[in-house]
Structure 1
Amino acid sequence: MTEPTRITDLKDLKAALQLAIGVELSTIPVYLTGLYSIEEGRNTDAAQTIRSVVMEEMLHMTLAANVLNALGEVPSPEPVDFQDHRNLSPIPAYPLDSPLISGIGTLELLPLTPQAVDSFVRIEHPLHGAATLSDIPVEPGGFRTIGEFYDAVDAALSDPAICPDDIFAPVRQIPDSDYYGGAGHVIEVKDRATARAAVLKIIDQGEGLPEEYLRLPAKTVTDADRLGSGWQMYSHYARFRELQTGRRFRTDQSADQNPEGSMLLVDYSAVQPALYTPRNGESDGSPEGSALDTFDLAYSQLVDSLYRAFAGEPTKDVDPLERNADRERPSLRRAVHAMYALKNTAIALMRTPNPAKPGHTLCPRFSYVPPGGDRDKLVQHVEGRGGQYR
C-alpha cells in the first residue's frame, strides 16, 4: 500500500490548514440542503441530528482557523498550493470531487432522501465506506481519508523541525464565547499542546474519526460533548447511522454494529422534492433564476463573513444580553446569525416549483461568487430585482 502523504515543511502545513477549513465548510451545504428540505414541523429528530452536526462543523472550521492563526497565517478563501497540487480552492463548488481526499466520493446537494443519508454516513465513516484503507486509490500529494489528512496535520504540528515552539502565538483567536448551538468548545491556540488539542477535537467529533473508534461504544460522550439540555453529542458517524437505519444505538453497542435501540423513523415523503442545478454563468433573468441568485449572493456574503471573523477583523457586536454590547469583537456570532437567516431563503426556494423539471422544486446552489467583477454583477442583478424573489 502506498505510504500516506507526509507534511514536511511549514508552508505545506499552513496550506493544509487553509484546506482543512475548506474541508469542514464543504460538508455544511450538503447537510443544510437535507435539513432545509424537511417540511416544517416534520422529522424533528432527523432535523435535530443534522442541525447539531452542522453546528459542530462550524466549530471545526473555527478550530482549524485558530490553529492557522497561531502559526502566523491569516485564514483566506484564496487558492493555495499544496504538495503536487496547484491552486486548490478551499471553497467548495458542487458537485464536489475533492482533489485532496479521494475516498470521500462525490459531494452532492440533495434533499433528505435515503441516498442523501447514505452520503452523510459515507462522509463521516473513517474509511468513507471502504472495507480497507488499501481499497481507496490515492493520488500523489493527496490522502485516502479525512482521518489520514488530519493525522498528517497532527504529525506536522508535533514536529519541532516543522513548527518550532516559538512560532506559536495566541493571535486572532476566536473565543469560546463566540460559539454556540452545538457541542464542544472552541480552543484558543497559544502553543503546540493547544494546537494539537484543537485538531484532536475535530477528529473526535467527526471527520477524521479513527477506524478503531468504531469498536468503542457508539454513544461515547465526554462532558465537553453534552449540551445544556442533556443532548448527547456522540460522533457524527454514529448519529447519521441512526438516521440511516431508523433506530438509535443502545448504550452497550459499538459504532460498527447496527443500531438496535428505540426507533428513529424518518418520513422521506415529508420532504420537498428539490432538484439541484449548478450555476452556469449569469442569470437567465427569470424569477426563478433571480431567486437562486439571491441565495448565492447571501451565501457568498456569509462565507466572506466567516473568513473576516477567522481573520480577526472586528465588528460592532450589538447583543442586548451583554453589558458591553458595543465593544468590537471578531464577528463569528454575526456569521452564525447570517447562517440561520439563510435558512428562510433556502426554504422559500425549496417551495418554489422548478419550471424546467415538473414535480420538483428549486434547490439552493451554495455557489460562492468571489468579490470582484462577477460579484458586482450579481449584486446589481439581485438589487435590480428588488433583492428577493417575489
Structure 2
Amino acid sequence: MPLRRFSRPAVETFIDIERPNTCDKQPEQGYRSIGCFYAAISQGIKTLCDDSVFEQARKTRGHCQISGEEYYGGAGKLFAVTDKASALKAIEEIVHQGEGVSENILNETVCEHADKTLEPESIDDGDTLADGWKMYSHYVRFREIQFGRRYLPTQKITDTPAGDIIPIDWSEVYPTVTNPQAADYKGTDIEPAVDNFNGTYTQLIDNIYAAFNGEKSDVAQSEPAGMRKAVTVMWELKYQAIALMKTPSPLAMHQGETVGAPFEYLR
C-alpha cells in the first residue's frame, strides 16, 4: 500500500481494504479485507484462548490495561480485557467503530442500518461525537468521498450515493511525493527536518508501546506519561508533517512536488 497524497486512487485503495467480505476460510496468504482480519482474531480467541490464558494474562499483564481515564475526544468505549467475553467484546467494539463490516450490509438500506445499531454488521454503531456526527462504517464513508455525495436513507450500500453533495476539490491538496524516504534527502537542506520528523514518529510509537506495557499517566506528574504522553507527541508529529507537506522537494525527479512525511521508524 503506497503512502500517497489524498486522491481518488488513495480513496479507492481504502475502499478495497474496507470492502465487506464473507470470511469463511482461513487465508493462505493475507486477508481479503480488514473485516476478515478481525474475524480471524475473533475465531482465534474462541479457538485458542481458554480461561487459563486470561488467568495468566491477569497476573502478568493486568497492569498494562489502558483505562477509560486516558481516553477522550472520540466516540466508542474503552474497557479492560480480562477474559474471553471481554476480548470478543473488544473486537466487536472495533467493528462497531467502522472497521471490517460484514458483506451482509450490502443488500440493506442506510435507514435499515441505522435501525440496527447494536449489530456488528451495521454501518451505524449508534455512537455520536460531541457535535452529533454519526459514526458510520469506514467503507460507507469512503464510498461517499469517492462519489462526492451522501447516501440517501433509502439507498442500498451497493448503490451510488445520490444524496447531499460533499464538496471535494481534488486539486486543493499538497502535491506530496508518493512514498517519501529520508534516504532521498541525504545531503540536502531538508535532511534535518525529515530526520526530525522520523525521530518524532519513532518517539510516538515508543510512547504507545510503553503505554500498553504498563506506563501510566498521572495528572500529578510534572511531565505527561503513558497514553497522555503519546497524545502530546502525536500533535507535535502532526505539525511537523504539515510543514513537510508544504515544503517543495529539492530533488529534480520530484519537481513540482512537496517532500511529504516518510513515517519511518528509527531502529
TM-score (norm 2): 0.82
Paired residue for 2:263, among 346, 363, 366? 366
After TM superposition, list the pairs within 5 Å mapping 1:10-159 onto structure 2. Answer: 107-127=1-21, 139=28, 142-159=30-47
Contact 2:149 2:165 (C-alpha < 8 Å) held by counterparts: yes
CA distance 1:344–1:216, change in 2 (3 Å): same
Corresponding position of 1:186? 78
- Distance change (3 Å), C-alpha of 1:310 and 1:328: farther
Identity, in percent, stands at 40
Pair 1:253–1:181, CA change in 2 (3 A): farther
TM alignment of 1:1-390, pairs within 5 A: 107-127=1-21, 139=28, 142-159=30-47, 162-168=48-54, 169=58, 170-218=62-110, 220=114, 221-223=124-126, 225-279=127-181, 281=183, 284-315=186-217, 317-318=218-219, 325-326=220-221, 331-356=226-251, 357-370=254-267
CA–CA distance in 2 between the matches of 1:196 and 1:145? 19
Task: Give the distance between the partners of 1:120 and 1:156, measured in 2 at CA.
Answer: 25
**What is the Cα deviation at residue 154 of structure 1?**
0.9
Instruction: Give per-residue Cα distances to partners, 1:252-286, cap 9 Å, x unaligned.
Output: 32322221110002111211111134436596132
Conservation of the 8 A alpha-carbon contact between 2:65 and 2:80: yes
What CA distance in whole angstroms lies between the structure 1 residues aligned with 2:106 and 2:69? Answer: 32
Q: 2 CA distance for matches of 1:216 and 1:183?
A: 24
Separation (CA, whole Å) in 1 of partners of 2:265 and 2:92? 29
Deviations 1:183-234 (A, max 9, x none): 21112111111100001122233332211123334463344x2112211011
Q: Is the 8 A contact 2:244 2:261 kept in 1?
A: yes
Residue 115 of structure 1 deviates from its aligned partner by: 1.4
The runs of 5 or more residues in structure 1 that have no matched partner are 1-106, 319-324, 371-390
Q: Which residue does the alignment assign to 1:100?
A: none
Displacement, 1:353?
0.7
253-262 or 344-353, larger mean C-alpha shift: 253-262
Separation in structure 2 between the aligned mates of residue 281 and residue 111 of structure 1, nearest angstrom: 20
Q: What count of residue pairs does the alignment treat as equivalent?
A: 248
CA separation in 2, counterparts of 1:188 and 1:329? 22
SS in 2 for 1:233: strand
The AA in structure 2 aligned to 1:109 is: L
CA offset at residue 122 of structure 1? 1.8
Report deviation, 1:240.
1.1
User: Which amino acid is 1:247 matched to?
Assistant: R
For the aligned residue pairs, the C-alpha RMSD in angstroms reads: 2.7
Give the counterpart letter for 1:124 in structure 2. E
